[in-house]
Amino acid sequence: MQNLKFGKFPTLLKSDGDYLLFTDRVKSELKAKGSLHVVDRRIEPPKDWNREELMELDAAVRIFIASNIDDKVYQQARTAGTSIDLLGQLEQIVDPSGSATIYGLHE
């Protein structure tokens, strides 16, 4: 696995933040690095990657996401097992009305 470096967003995601903007930034960064499959199950991971490489990448993406969210929000979501689980928990914390989910269904 290549050693990927992820960017830092201009602002941290807070409990009253814009979840859709945050996930768009996360997905754009991952897409640019060829790693969107980590948070989008519809995309197959590269066939030549083994399970260990995929787990290392998921851990790196978790750190990337965690470094771009407010500490109080992270405290609520830190038990998530994978990057995709972390995004799901963040959605529940930041967007409890589910408007991001409804919007996502229209994509």
pLDDT tens, residue by residue, 72-90: 999 999 999 999 999 999 9
pLDDT band at 100 (very low <50, low <70, confident <90, very high): low
Alpha-carbon distance of 99 to 42, in angstroms, equals: 21
pLDDT tens, residue by residue, 20-41: 999 999 999 999 999 999 999 9
Per-chain mean pLDDT for the chain: 87
Q: CB under 8 Å, gap of 24 or more: what pairs does 35-44 form? A: 35/4, 35/61, 38/83, 38/84, 39/83, 39/84, 39/87, 40/84, 41/84
The predicted pLDDT at position 107 comes to 47
Predicted structure pTM score? 0.84
